[in-house]
Chains A and B, each alone.
Chain A
């Protein structure tokens, strides 16, 4: 893969060159300690040691997305923003998660409209004890990727950005991405699907289900959770808006259908369903793990339910 070495201060000049044409967002730690994707002006503001609490999905799949509004007999779709968004300093796991969402929303015009306007500048992360990313065969999707003093180009869009900055780059070399990006930290058991199916009767699910408070935090912060609910809001003055809003398979209403039937009436069933979806995928994405090992769900859970511990319990029979 083509890569270049760059000089000190290059990152800031890259940001500078983006600022005129892009809305530049990066993970920044706020005074309250929470890391959020927000506008940045300099590289020093970036938080290399922390993933943003709410991942990239909020940019391409916002939590409350107005799909159309109606007044009298006039339907309107909100005008899409013409300003492209540059996400800068994005960790590999979040890039892999976006690749998963790209598959899920391949035919979704609202997602695609924003996705096509999204420039991705990845950077090497510092894994924390909660991370458990699996090994990968492919590099994650990116336009540019920065690690220490080297930079890789992943698309023509990314290459185009470098024309104005050529003077600061070495001559190109053919170096692979740093190994830690694709090596991962934790092996996933090969027979996971069998282990999962065999676990149906284990007390594991009931025990963890009793602890779960169904608060939805794990799903809100998960970079690949994409379930949504559609709702119409009508106001007395005649305005109507259709919204798509984040949903969660832990909510009682998620599998509730007409007539009051519920496909997954208990917390334990919902929990098992969620882990199945994360680890094994569904439908056309069966066999593609949706969990990128970022560890956000475990950090956000008020009752310490940890997907990596559940995975370990499935593999080794330990208590999570």
Chain B
């Protein structure tokens, strides 16, 4: 089998997604056997040779012109482009910073902020075709492994597009939304985590982003019914799903 030419590239983000893959210690040798890692800045200092790629995994949102140029270049180089993690899919928590952009940047970078040209963080799909979305903040290790295993065999993995509630019910958890009256985002959040948080009694905070056709109107109504303010409902629904969605 020909080795897969692979890059894992990071834009505006925290490196958490790349680290999740590095945490798959037991499978790293197997990954090395099937893939030639052309670029992966958290794992390798090897310079990128700039050649064509079978697949590129992209972590992070796009918030600078240089990032956009690099993203477009990667799209041209790679057969398959995979958006990995909440930032790449929706902008993630990066999007939460509202308000005057110059003021925001100066608050973080001081006087040199004006020399850096930035714009509000955008998900990858705003600019390029995305072949597969791997959700999560960060994604599950198992999804990284399924992704690489499928790529090595010339395909893409089947990742769930339904809501966390399905997995939560299968685990026979107490429903935190209905029975414990807590503001759980399970009904509008993409599954794949095997309902990790609700299985430990903590509500779903929506880190895997909105499920396809998320019924935000009904979820808002449910949360308002629990006594949350409109502002809090909006904040909860927006935390990991970007500002691209209009509130009802």
Contacts of A252 in B (CB 8 A): 161, 212-213
User: B132 on the interface (CB 8 Å rule)?
Assistant: no
Let me know if B146 and A233 touch, CB within 8 A: yes
User: B148 on the interface (CB 8 Å rule)?
Assistant: yes
Let me know if A234 and B157 touch, CB within 8 A: yes
Let me know if A217 and B149 touch, CB within 8 A: no
Let me know if B27 and A235 touch, CB within 8 A: yes
Size bracket, chain A contacts: 35 or more
* Stretch of B52-60, B67-75, B107-115, B163-171 lying at the A interface: B163-171
Let me know if B170 and A214 touch, CB within 8 A: no
| A236-B215 contact, Cβ under 8 Å, with A216-B163, A220-B170, A231-B158 | no
Let me know if B172 and A36 touch, CB within 8 A: yes
| A214-B169 contact, Cβ under 8 Å, with A235-B149, A236-B30, A302-B187 | no
User: B125 on the interface (CB 8 Å rule)?
Assistant: no
Q: Contact string, A221-236, partner B, CB cutoff 8 A, digits 1/0?
A: 1000000010111111
Residues 143 to 167 of chain B near chain A (Cβ within 8 Å): 145-146, 148-150, 152-153, 155, 157-158, 161-163, 165-166
User: A212 on the interface (CB 8 Å rule)?
Assistant: yes
User: B179 on the interface (CB 8 Å rule)?
Assistant: yes
Let me know if B172 and A53 touch, CB within 8 A: yes
Contacts of B170 in A (CB 8 A): 54, 63-64, 220, 246
A232 to B217, CA, bound (A): 35
CB nearest to A33 among chain B residues: B174
Q: How far does the Cβ of B73 sit from chain A's closest Cβ, in whole Å?
A: 27
CB nearest to A229 among chain B residues: B158
CB nearest to A251 among chain B residues: B162
Q: How far does the Cβ of B50 sit from chain A's closest Cβ, in whole Å?
A: 25
| A214-B213 contact, Cβ under 8 Å, with A34-B174, A54-B169 | yes
| A303-B165 contact, Cβ under 8 Å, with A232-B158, A236-B31, A236-B148 | no
Contacts of B162 in A (CB 8 A): 214-216, 248, 251, 253
A219 to B166, CA, bound (A): 9
A247 to B172, CA, bound (A): 16
| A267-B213 contact, Cβ under 8 Å, with A63-B170, A213-B187, A234-B150 | yes
User: B19 on the interface (CB 8 Å rule)?
Assistant: no
Let me know if B30 and A303 touch, CB within 8 A: no
A210 to B163, CA, bound (A): 17
Contacts of B172 in A (CB 8 A): 34, 36, 53-54
> Which of B27, B148, B178, B212 has a CB less than 8 Å from the CB of A302?
B178
Give 6 A-B pairs besides A215-B166, A215-B187, A246-B166 with Cβ atoms closer than 8 angstroms.
A64-B170, A211-B218, A220-B169, A237-B149, A252-B213, A303-B218
8 residue pairs, one from A and one from B, having the closest CB atoms:
A216-B166, A215-B165, A234-B149, A237-B30, A220-B169, A231-B158, A213-B187, A235-B149
Residues of B within 8 A of A (CB): 27, 30-31, 33-35, 145-146, 148-150, 152-153, 155, 157-158, 161-163, 165-166, 169-170, 172-175, 177-179, 186-188, 211-213, 215, 217-219, 222
Q: List 19 A-B contacts (CB under 8 A).
A: A32-B174, A210-B218, A213-B165, A214-B211, A214-B213, A215-B187, A216-B169, A217-B166, A219-B166, A220-B170, A234-B153, A237-B30, A239-B149, A240-B153, A267-B215, A302-B165, A302-B187, A303-B218, A303-B222
Residues of A within 8 A of B (CB): 32-34, 36, 53-54, 63-64, 210-217, 219-221, 229, 231-240, 246, 248, 251-253, 267, 300, 302-303
